[in-house]
């Protein structure tokens, strides 16, 4: 990734407040609520850690990565405040030391990687997931640009190629059994940068 991408996220996460709040994403919370430590779960592009820390409070062995050191520092602060531990690495995915079949679950929550690498990253992440493991996914759909034009405060990428379609995701995760998948409108209240109505794709799928 180029330096402008890194600089953007370091700048966003360098403020004292949490850019997207400290509470977990609603879809993630609803999906894993009531679980009690189902193994190892990885949170790619986890930013300031609100989602991975939540999983850790449920007893998951939580792992996360991001390109932003500023994000990592705030994630570890949040984890300490909630008396949980978090394995958080900083760097591009190909440079990190994860292993094939290491994880029982992947949580891709607004993991909008640059368009030129996002499908490659999905393939690399799939390799890290055990057969029978689950993907929990929520991110902005290609329809979201219209919402963003009406309300920039809802956040999300401004480039269509960085957004998702159901067809693209079904192709990237074609060796998965989709337990649910939908494109839907949501009302976001996540910190200062996800406020208002947007269009997202959500799914839960199992690797077969």
SS3 content of the chain, % helix, strand, coil (to 5): 35, 30, 35
Burial environment of residue 131 by CB neighbours within 10 A (0 to 12, 13 to 18, 19 or more): exposed
Two tokens, residue 120: 């490659």
Question: Residue 1 has what pLDDT?
Answer: 57
Domain that holds residue 30: 3-207
What SS3 class is residue 53?
Answer: helix
pTM, to two decimals: 0.95
| 13 and 48 Cβ atoms separated by less than 8 Å | yes
> Per the structure, how many domains does the chain have?
1
pLDDT by 10s per residue, the chain, length 208:
567 777 888 888 988 899 999 999 999 999 998 776 689 999 999 999 999 999 999 999 999 999 999 999 999 999 999 999 999 999 999 999 999 999 999 999 999 999 999 999 999 999 999 999 999 999 999 999 999 999 999 999 999 999 999 999 999 999 999 999 999 999 999 999 999 999 999 999 999 9
The domain that holds 184 is classified in CATH as 3.40.50.150
Give CA–CA dist 154/159, Å, rounded. Answer: 15
> Residues 23-47: pLDDT tens digits?
999 999 999 987 766 899 999 999 9
């Amino acid at each position: 990734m180029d330096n402008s991408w890194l600089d953007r996220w370091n700048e966003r996460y360098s403020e004292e407040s949490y850019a997207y709040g400290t509470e977990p994403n609603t879809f993630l919370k609803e999906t894993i609520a009531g679980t009690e430590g189902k193994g190892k779960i990885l949170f790619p592009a986890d930013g300031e850690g609100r989602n991975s820390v939540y999983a850790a409070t449920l007893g998951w062995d939580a792992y996360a990565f991001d390109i932003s050191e500023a994000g990592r520092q705030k994630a570890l602060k949040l984890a300490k405040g909630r008396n949980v531990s978090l394995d958080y690495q900083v760097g591009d995915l190909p440079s990190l030391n994860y292993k094939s079949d290491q994880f029982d679950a992947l949580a891709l929550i607004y993991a909008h990687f640059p368009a030129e690498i996002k499908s490659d990253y999905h393939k690399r992440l799939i390799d890290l997931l055990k057969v029978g493991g689950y993907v929990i996914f929520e991110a902005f759909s290609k329809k979201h640009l219209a919402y963003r034009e009406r309300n920039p405060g809802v956040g999300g990428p401004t480039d269509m190629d960085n957004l998702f379609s159901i067809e693209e995701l079904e192709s990237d995760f074609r060796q998965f059994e989709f337990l649910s998948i939908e494109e839907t409108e949501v009302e976001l209240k996540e910190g200062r940068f996800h406020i208002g109505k947007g269009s997202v794709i959500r799914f839960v799928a199992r690797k077969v």
